[in-house]
Structure 1
Amino acid sequence: MHVPDGFLDLSTSVATAGVSAAAVATALRRSRTELDVVGPAVPGLVSAFVFAVQMVNFPVGAGTSGHLMGGALAAALVGPATAMVCLTVVLVVQALLFADGGLTALGTNVLLIAVVTVLVGHVVTRGALRVLPRRPGSVAVAAALGGLVSVPAAALVFVGLYAVGGAVPVDLGTLATAMLGWHVLIGVGEALITGAVVSAVVASRPDLVRSLRGTRRDLVVVDADGRRTTVPATVDEPAAPARAGMRRPLAVALAACAVVAGGVSLLASGHPDGLEHVAGVVGFGDAARDSAVAASPLADYAVAGVGSPVAVTVAGLVGVAVTALLAAGAVRAVGRRRVGA
Structure 2
Amino acid sequence: MTTDHNDIPSIALEWHRNGRGAALATVVETWGSAPRPVGSLLAISGQGDIMGSVSGGCVEGAVVVEAMDALDDGQPRLLEYGVSDDEAFAVGLACGGTIRVLVEPVGAAIPESMLADLVAARSASTPIAYTVDIENWRRDLSGVEAHLARFRSDKSGFEGNTFVGIHNPPLRMAVIGGVHIAQSLIPMARAAGFAPVLIDPREAFASAARFPDTALVHEWPDAALDSFGIDARTAVVTLTHDPKLDDPAIQAALRSDCFYLGSLGSTRTHAKRVARLEEAGFSTDHIARIQAPVGLNIGAKSPAEIAISIMAQIVQALRGA
Q: If the length of structure 2 is used for normalisation, what is the TM-score?
A: 0.29
User: As a proportion of its length, which structure holds more helix?
Assistant: 1
Structure with the larger strand share:
2
Calculate the TM-score normalised by the size of structure 1. 0.27
Greater RCO (CA < 8 Å, at least 6 residues apart) = 1
- Give the number of the structure whose alpha-carbon radius of gyration is greater: 2
